[in-house]
A and B are shown apart, each in its own frame.
Chain A
Amino acid sequence: MTQTVQHHKEPLLRIVKRDGIARPKAYAIRIAAVLASLVVSGIFIFAITKLNPIQVYEAIFDGAFGTNRRSWVTIRDAMMLLCIGVGLAPAFKMKFWNIGAEGQILIGGVVTAGIMRAWGGDLSTPALLAVMGIVSLLCGCLWGVIPAVFKAVWNTNETLFTLMMNYVAIQITSYCVALWENPVGSNSVGIINQMTAYGHFPKVFGQAYGLNVVLVLILAVGMYIYLKYSKQGYEISVVGDSENTARYAGINVKKVTIRTMAISGAICGLAGFIEVAGVSHTISTETAGGRGFTAIIVAWLAQFNTFVMILISFLLVFLQQGAIQIASQFNLNDYASEIITGIILFFILSSEFFINYRVIVRGGKEAKGK
């Protein structure tokens, strides 16, 4: 046997699945990937713009954390992304491809805006916030449950279904914008209750976005516990790994599917509430702004660990805020900074490959060792 093997020429590179990897080593690979991405982006920056990469990196940092206010903008946006990621985590863990977060956010945002307009001044702000929160939760929940029921009962494709639900939500939003626009025909709702601030988040700990942080962190911790320690969380991971195993174990797959999507949709709906009542105080078809899709990356990269999601949300928002700053400071087109973001994400994503597989080089130490 050994003889025949030696007749074949060994390939230059071989890829072998790892049995497991020590945590420090996994993190070392990730950090190496980030450093490598910075070097490659640095070459790109210099080649294209002739700017000092170090200066550009400083500007990125300055854009995200340069002033107290910028830090709060970064925190606020990271919390929004995290909130949506937390909403998506149970669905994706169940291998239910919920790409309908955009629609769930929008529908939550639209009802929040509607209630804020209709009852601002009639109810006290805390009562108004509670009503808006609950209604947006229910609407988001409905937006999640509809495709889940179709999937559970008729086995429809949830990817297409949730995607289509986005368009329905976008159309409803643009209808409401046309209804509420001010002045007529301008396609802009403006800041709702601008002068009175009815239904806007109050300051918490002296911070305008304090309540956003508190709410989202509660959700993140709650979701961590739910997924990791509750029976329902366990059911989600069993259904995600194998539906047949789940059935064999006596898990009602239909019930779990619908229940999980109800939770997922509800949290995304709540994200719409936080965005409208706590951040923008307006509604437009851009309210979700693609974050329903970006949050999928957050959830996946973190492997549904909500604490890791905090880090990843911050990283993405940090890069985005930095991109705005370098576009302004160096008069670069936004696309230049998006390329840098792309390079960094590419390296982080590919580092997962080296965590799951190892590469054996012909004639290398490992190859000889065999």
Chain B
Amino acid sequence: MKKILALLLTLVMALSLTACGGQEETSDTPADEGGETTQGETADIKVGLICVHDQNSGYDVAHIDGLTAACEALGIDPTDTNQVVFKYNVAENQACYDAAVDLAEQGCDIIFSDSYGHQPYMLQAAREYEDITFVSCTGDQAGVSGLDNFKNIFPYTYESRYVSGVVAGMKLKELMDAGTVTDPKVGYVGAYPYAEVVCGYTAFLLGIQSIVPEAYMEVQYTNSWFDLAGEAEAANTLMARGCVIIGQHADSTGAPSAVQDAQEKGTVAYSVGYNIDMLSVAPTAALTSAQNNWSVLYQATLEKFMAGEEIPADYATGHANNAVMISTLGESCAEGTQEAVDAAWAAIDDGSLKVFDTSKFTVGGQTVTEYEVNFSIIDFESGDVVFEGPTENVISDGAFQESVYRSAPYFDLRIDGITELNNNG
């Protein structure tokens, strides 16, 4: 026994020795290489990205991959920590300020954060570090904050929502033509009763209505951006109420998995996801997912930054620049879906199709001809104006001009045909 112990000990010692010996070689080489690349290439820039979660979240993967692709396209080595620094699992509180300031002190020239809740902390850091550019993705205050070094970016997600609605509409039409479904009821699992979500589900329903005009929708909120069990439960509630299509604006795979389960038990229901391809969890229930291609926005921002050009306070773009897309169509999609999708994209790209065309929806039975949005940031309880912004009529050219006056969505009209089941906000 003693011998075994002794043997074990020697093994441990030997291992730790090799461990120490082995690394020094590996550590030397990359450091040298790193030094050369920074000097040799044009990319004399250091980029930081603050992520709310890590590679395990579909939302963050979209951002990590987006920045990585943008950097590669611009000759910045995303694996070199002297050029690109990622901070993972940064909560939407003081930790974000700490991370932003730490990146600033590490010498980052431009710092991105990927979640809405990071914004106030990015703003706080931007105020202290005037020479560094801070970009809060999905944020809404850059235009009115009065800071030159604080920016927001947001893709036209409503376009991909609309087209994923077209996919769902084709399926719904097929089911109704076959007589399987008589009530064109659509369900939507939403995170919060927040403009970004409202804009998304409205676009989704308008996409469906472009194929099945009588379709209508019920929305169930989960009050969380990521809640596997909660999203599954919301999907089950909606299916029990007779919804045949379950859309979602929440980040987990809860809803598609629930729809797949129900389908296997004989319910007629299909799922449309968000962010990531849901076919792995719902092979026969998932039709497609609405997706953002963040690399386009990162690249455009970095290009301007590197060229020394002025970065607009708000930057939003859509399918015309490949900033949004839908994932691979599932096997359950109706015949002719691909053609309908291509037609919708083409019409969106050439401007002949406007997602929020005011002739396509009503509010309280009326067509909306004027809608004033106050872009000031207001503290809702005290009524104090935090940042003064303009008030604009956002209806023009026969459509609601979403993401034009500000990159973050501001479509918060509740159109006819949509019922919120649990908006207690």
Contacts and interface: CB of A to CB of B under 8 A. Distances in A.
Interface residues on B, range: 35 or more
Interface string A173-212: 0100011111111111011001100000000000000000
Nearest to B105: A67
Contacts of B79: 331
A12 B4 CA distance: 13
A324 B101 CA distance: 14
Interface string B218-235: 000001110000000000
Interface string B168-206: 000000000000000000000001111101100000000
Given A45-B19, A117-B382, 19 more contacts: A43-B16, A50-B26, A51-B27, A53-B19, A54-B20, A55-B23, A67-B102, A178-B223, A178-B424, A184-B194, A185-B192, A186-B117, A284-B92, A286-B92, A287-B93, A324-B89, A327-B54, A327-B88, A334-B54
Contact of A324 (B1, B87, B194, B382): B87
Interface in A308-346: 324, 327-329, 331, 333-334
A289 interface: yes
A272 to B, nearest CB: 13
Contacts of B26: 50-52
Report, nearest first, the 7 A-B pairs whose CB atoms are least far apart: A52-B23, A185-B194, A46-B19, A280-B94, A185-B193, A188-B117, A191-B120
A194 B386 contact: yes
Interface in A269-286: 279-282, 284, 286
Contacts of B377: 182-183
Given A51-B23, A52-B23, A194-B120, A279 B94 contact: yes
Interface string B359-382: 000000000000000000111111
B76 to A, nearest CB: 15
The CB with the most chain A CB atoms within 10 A, among B19, B124, B224, is that of B19
26 contacts: A42-B16, A43-B19, A52-B23, A52-B27, A54-B20, A174-B223, A182-B377, A182-B378, A183-B380, A184-B380, A184-B425, A185-B197, A185-B425, A186-B116, A186-B192, A187-B194, A191-B120, A194-B120, A194-B124, A194-B386, A286-B93, A327-B87, A328-B87, A328-B88, A329-B81, A334-B54
Interface in A44-63: 45-46, 50-55
B199 to A, nearest CB: 11
Given A70-B102, A328-B88, A334-B88, A195 B20 contact: no
A185 B412 CA distance: 11
Contacts of B224: 187
A39 interface: yes
Given A43-B15, A194-B120, A182 B379 contact: yes
Contacts of B86: 328, 331
- Max chain B CB contacts within 10 Å: which of A179, A190, A329, A361? A190
Contacts of B91: 286, 289
A6 to B, nearest CB: 20
Contacts of B424: 178
A178 B376 CA distance: 20
B320 interface: no
A322 B239 CA distance: 47
Contacts of B12: 39, 43
Contacts of B198: 185
A163 interface: no
Contacts of B251: none
Contacts of A181: 380, 425
Contacts of B197: 185
Contacts of A331: 79, 81, 86
A55 B27 contact: yes
Contacts of A284: 92-93
Interface in B1-55: 1-2, 12, 15-16, 19-20, 22-24, 26-27, 54-55
Contacts of A174: 223
B314 interface: no
Interface centre among A51, A187, A282 (most CB of B within 10 A): A187
A78 to B, nearest CB: 14
Given A52-B26, A70-B102, A183 B195 contact: yes
B255 interface: no
Contacts of A46: 19, 22-23
Interface string A32-48: 00000001001101100
B93 A282 contact: yes
Contact of B102 (A51, A69, A195, A279): A69
Contacts of A281: 94
A188 B425 CA distance: 13
B55 A333 contact: yes
A174 B15 CA distance: 50
A115 interface: no
A188 B92 contact: yes
For A12, A51, A324, the residue with the greatest tally of chain B CB atoms inside 10 Å of its CB is A324
Contacts of B89: 324, 327, 334
- From A50, A52, A184, A334, residue with most partner B Cβ within 10 Å: A52
A73 interface: yes
A194 B105 contact: no
Nearest to A174: B223
Nearest to A180: B381
B132 interface: no
A70 B102 CA distance: 7
A184 B117 CA distance: 13
B121 interface: yes
B268 to A, nearest CB: 32
B114 interface: no
A196 B147 CA distance: 17
B214 to A, nearest CB: 28
B123 interface: yes
B222 to A, nearest CB: 11
B386 A195 contact: yes
Given A43-B12, A185-B195, A73 B425 contact: no
B98 interface: yes
B296 to A, nearest CB: 24
B109 interface: no
Interface string B102-126: 1001000000000011011101100
B116 A188 contact: yes
Contact of B120 (A190, A289, A329): A190
B140 interface: yes
B395 interface: no
Contacts of B15: 43
B13 to A, nearest CB: 9
B359 to A, nearest CB: 27
B85 interface: yes
